[in-house]
Structure 1
Amino acid sequence: MSADFWAGYGSGAIGILIGNPLDLIKTKIQAGNVPLAAHSSPVTSAAGSEPVKPSRQWSSFARGAAAPILGYGALNALLFVTYNRSLALLNSGQTLESSNDPSAWSLWTAGALGGLAIFFVSAPTELVKCRAQVSEPPRSSWDVTRELWRQGGLRRLYLGGGVTSIRDAVGYGFYFWSYELSKRWIAKENQTSNEEGVRILLCGGLAGVVTWASVFPLDVIKTRVQTWDLVHAQGTHSVEAATQPLLRSNTAPATTAKPARPSTFQIAKQAYAHEGIGVFFRGLGICSARAFIVNAVQWATYEWMMRVLAV
């Protein structure tokens, strides 16, 4: 396969390994009504007497990582291949190496096409990741996938796929646009290899921050759509447990009708009505910090692998 495929695959897998702990916190903040205590209160078990093993504390930050590590390698590979081919076509069929400073419009459009191309991988991967991250008690990505398949087969794995595809198209449009333009703006003649490395890290980190700033409200909505029933069920169970009598009667328990799942627009509307405009930017600070670090490393890995594989 082509160099950009493997470079994209490698950089995507490395980015997930680095960024998953902060991504876990971001998802919990976005989902709403999900306690962070299980990942931040460090010392005792539920019984209050047995210390929680440090290995369990650290492993909690890897929750939901299996699906992204497997999925985002392929996702990133497809993303970069589609971007490079689309950009070449948009610039009169020239290769990237011979194309001289593609326009900002073609950079954004090629990135958006790349974002749309990864839909078939991105939507189920994001769904499994988010649900694994907010599940209480903890569940593996494989357990979440099996449950989703039992609930509705392949269609269920694409829950929230519409808003995910819009987020990816807009976000990756700005991703490649900001990376390439920032590289031009801070370009310098006769750069040393160290200076070039710093430039790639800086531009990659900046591209990550710009990307998430452009689509963060959409990402919040996506997370809430994909975890709505799970968060609602967990909240309902905690309320029921707190209000149950100590002694049960012999009468049959009353059945509670399962609430109908609201649409994407209704979920966004409810979030705004209950929590205000700030809900759509909750977690942006953590996300920006993660985005700068992860994308700096991703772009450095991609550029390095492209050089190695091109030899």
Structure 2
Amino acid sequence: MSADFWAGYVSGAIGILVGNPLDLIKTKIQAGRVESKNLTDVVVSSDIQASPNRQSWHWTAFARGAAAPILGYGALNALLFVTYNRSLALLNTGGLEEWPEQPSAWSLWTAGALGGLAIFFVSAPTELVKCRAQVSSPPQSSLRVVRDLWDRGGVRGLYLGGSVTSIRDAVGYGFYFWSYELSKRSLTSEDDTPNQQALKVLLCGGLAGVVTWASIFPLDVIKTRVQTWDLLTPRHASLAEPATQPLLRAEEASASTKHTASARPSAFRIAKEAYAAEGAGVFFRGLGICSARAFIVNAVQWAVYEWMMKQLAH
């Protein structure tokens, strides 16, 4: 495998480990699961509500939903960086291995967007499982979520909200690489000491993460709402638990389940209803937490990526 594959794989996995606690909070806020302003309450509320006799929580609550992205995001990040680098080389030099020294801004964004599209097959199910595991009540493991989705819809069930996810990834990663490379070009110089270079990579990586999420946050809110729609309120319990209809015969229960599944609203309708009920602010709910997470995660991720690329180049 190429150096950028392994550098992307390791940096992606480390980024998930660093950022999952804040990502958990962001997802719950986006999904509308809680209204508390206290961040600890946001994390543990559904766990305590699911078990009335439970009066305390454990720090492992912050790891909920991490299994899917840890397993999937390393591969996702590896594919992302490989596709980005090869696309950037092709757009600027016409070859796959001759990477340009000063690529144009439009080619940076385009190569990043192509990388975002390339990761769809990994990103869509990973995001779906992560979000549902994070907001499920009572808590469910990522494996349980996968089984439920598979039982309900097979492979197609694992790609619920895939269209919104693919658009979000294409736009977001376009701005991700664009902002990182341009900020790095502006802030770094050949005269920097190794320590200065490391600090500036951290800063540029963090800025890239914030710019990226600011550009796509409304799309991410819609994606989260689409993927967790049947878990949000009791009125959707028939979709969340299609088998709990003991008074119906098997044929009627099957027909009822199909009807309920087909009644799932479109992403546009979910966005429209969210706006009508909660105003424009709903599309920016959790942006502060997300920005903090984005800065930390992407600073670490880019630092690990750049370091590994240097080590593997020797």
SS, match of residue 69 in structure 1: helix
Matches within 5 A, 1:148-297: 148-233=149-234, 258=260, 260-297=263-300
CA distance in structure 1 between the partners assigned to 2:7 and 2:60 by the alignment? 28
Q: Report what 2:243 is aligned to.
A: none
Q: Report what 1:244 is aligned to.
A: none
CA distance in structure 2 between the partners assigned to 1:126 and 1:47 by the alignment? 29
Q: Report what 2:144 is aligned to.
A: 143
Question: Does structure 1 retain, via aligned residues, the 8 Å contact 2:89–2:98?
Answer: no
Q: CA RMSD in A?
A: 2.5
Deviation at 1:34, TM superposition (A): 4.3
Q: 1:268 to 1:61 in 2, by over 3 A?
A: same
User: Which structure dedicates a bigger proportion of its chain to helix?
Assistant: 2
Question: Does structure 2 retain, via aligned residues, the 8 Å contact 1:87–1:96?
Answer: no
- Note if 1:298 corresponds to 2:311: no
Show CA shifts across 1:120-165 (max 9, x none).
0000000000000000010000000000000010001000000000
Q: 1:234 to 1:72 in 2, by over 3 A?
A: farther
CA distance in structure 1 between the partners assigned to 2:119 and 2:282 by the alignment? 27
Question: Does structure 1 retain, via aligned residues, the 8 Å contact 2:89–2:96?
Answer: yes
CA distance in structure 2 between the partners assigned to 1:96 and 1:208 by the alignment? 27
Q: 1:270 to 1:3 in 2, by over 3 A?
A: same
Deviation at 1:261, TM superposition (A): 1.1
Question: Does structure 2 retain, via aligned residues, the 8 Å contact 1:33–1:235?
Answer: no
The size of the alignment, in residue pairs, is 292
Amino acid across the alignment from 1:32:
G
Match of 1:39 among 23, 43, 47: 43
Q: 1:15 to 1:161 in 2, by over 3 A?
A: same
Q: 1:147 to 1:108 in 2, by over 3 A?
A: same
Structure with larger Rg: 1
Question: Does structure 1 retain, via aligned residues, the 8 Å contact 2:84–2:112?
Answer: yes
Q: Report what 2:106 is aligned to.
A: 105
Deviation at 1:51, TM superposition (A): 5.1
Deviation at 1:100, TM superposition (A): 2.7
CA distance in structure 2 between the partners assigned to 1:110 and 1:185 by the alignment? 20
TM-score w.r.t. the length of structure 1 is 0.87
Instruction: Return 5+ residue gaps in structure 1 as ranges.
Output: 238-251
CA distance in structure 1 between the partners assigned to 2:116 and 2:76 by the alignment? 9
SS, match of residue 102 in structure 1: coil
Identity %: 73
CA distance in structure 2 between the partners assigned to 1:12 and 1:24 by the alignment? 17
TM-score w.r.t. the length of structure 2 is 0.87
SS, match of residue 233 in structure 2: helix
Instruction: Return 5+ residue gaps in structure 2 as ranges.
Output: 239-246
Show CA shifts across 1:68-114 (max 9, x none).
00000000000000000000000123567752310000000000000
SS, match of residue 188 in structure 1: coil
Amino acid across the alignment from 1:265:
F
SS, match of residue 86 in structure 1: helix
